[in-house]
Amino acid sequence: MISILSVVLPIFALTFVGWLSRRAGIFGPQSTRELNRFVVYLALPALLFDIVAKAEPAQLWQPEFIAVFGFSTFFFFIITVAISRLSGADIGSAAIHGLNGAYSNAAFLGFPLLIAALGPASQTFTLIATINTVCVLFAFAIVLIEFGNQAGGHPLTIALHVSQALLRNPLVLAPLCGALVMASGAGIAAPLDAFLKLLGSAASPCALVCLGMFLAEPRASEQAEAGKTAMLVALKLFVYPALTLVLALWVFPLAKPVRDAAVLLAALPTGTGPFMLAEFHRCEGALTARVILISTVLSVGTITLLLAVLGRS
C-alpha cells in the first residue's frame, strides 16, 4: 500500500496544483488548451521518440508477453469502441472511449510500481507495454479519430486525407522516427539526448497540471455522464485485467512472474494520454478527465488487492 501511495500521491499533487492555479486565476481561460498544445506538439513527441529510439530490439522480443498484453489491449479497445458505437457515439468519441478503457498509465506508474512489486527484471515488460500503449494503440486511435473527421466523402478521398493527417501528427511521426533510429543502430548524440530528456520529462507533469486546470473550468452539471464514467472505470480496473489474466493462464500460458507483470500493467489506471487527445480534438474531454481521476483514486485499493491475490508484497 505504501509503495502504491508513494507513486500515486505525486499525481494527485500535480493535478491539484493545476486545479488550484486555475481557480486562483493564475492562468486564464485559454491556458488549458495552450498547455495541452505544448504537450501534444513538443513534450510528448520528444518522450515517445526517446522511448522508442533507445529500445533494444533483442530485449523487446518477448513474444508470449507481447501476444498476451497486445491482444488483450487491442481486443479490449475494439470491444469498447464497438459498444460505444452501438450506443450511438460517433467514431471519434468511440475511439476516446476505447482509450479510456484500454490505455494503462504504464509510462508514469508502471515503472516504479512494478519495480517495487516484481523487481528490476520487470522493466522490460513495462517498456513493451509502454510502447504498445503510448505508441501503437495511440496511433490506432488517431486513425479512427481522423477517419471520423473525414467521414462522408469518397473512400479514396477519406483514405488520402487520413494519411495526410497522420503524417502531420507529431504523436505518430515521433515514434516512427524513433523506430528508424532504433533499427539503424546509430544511437542518439549526447546534446540531442540531453535535449530530449529535458523536453520529454515535461510531458507527464504538464499533462497532469493541464488535467487539473481542465477540471477547474466552470461547466454545467454532467450527471447524465456519471453512468458512462462508472462503466469505463469499471472496464479499465476490473474487466481489462481479468481478460489479460484469462489469456495469460489459458490462451498464451505465461510463467508466473511474466503473468503477474502483464496483469498488473493491465490493472493500472487510465493514463493522461487519452485526455491530451480528447482535449486536442475537443471530444469527450470532461468524461476522460473524470475517468483518469477516478480510476487513479480507486487503483490504490484495486492494485493493493491484486498484489495480495498475486502473492506479492
pLDDT tens per residue across span 259-280: 999 999 999 999 888 988 888 8
Which segments of 130-269 are extended strands (E)?
none
pTM across the whole model: 0.83
pLDDT tens per residue across span 145-183: 887 776 665 566 666 766 776 677 787 788 889 989 988
d(CA 162, CA 91) in angstroms, rounded, equals 14
59 pLDDT above the threshold of 80? no
How is 78-108 classified by DSSP, letter by letter?
HHHHHHHHHTT--HHHHHHHHHHHH-B-III
d(CA 204, CA 189) in angstroms, rounded, equals 24
pLDDT tens per residue across span 5-38: 676 778 778 888 999 999 999 998 889 889 988 9
d(CA 211, CA 24) in angstroms, rounded, equals 16
Question: What are the helix (H) ranges across 150-202?
Answer: 155-168, 170-184, 190-200
Q: Which domain holds residue 95?
A: 2-310
* Distances from the Cα of 155 to the Cα of 141, 148, 163, 251, angstroms: 19, 12, 12, 37
Percent of the chain predicted with pLDDT > 70:
91
- CA 243 from chain center: how many Å? 18
User: Do residues 139 and 124 touch, judged by C-beta distance below 8 A?
Assistant: no
Q: How confident is the model at residue 1 (pLDDT cuts 50, 70, 90)?
A: low
Which CATH number do you get for residue 165? Answer: 1.20.1530.20
99 pLDDT above the threshold of 90? yes
User: Do residues 50 and 200 touch, judged by C-beta distance below 8 A?
Assistant: yes
Segment 282-302 mean pLDDT: 88
SS3 212: helix
Segment 249-267 mean pLDDT: 93
pLDDT of 100: 95
Residue 104 bridge partners (DSSP): 270
Q: How confident is the model at residue 250 (pLDDT cuts 50, 70, 90)?
A: very high
Q: How confident is the model at residue 47 (pLDDT cuts 50, 70, 90)?
A: confident
pLDDT of 165: 66
User: What domain count does the chain have?
Assistant: 1
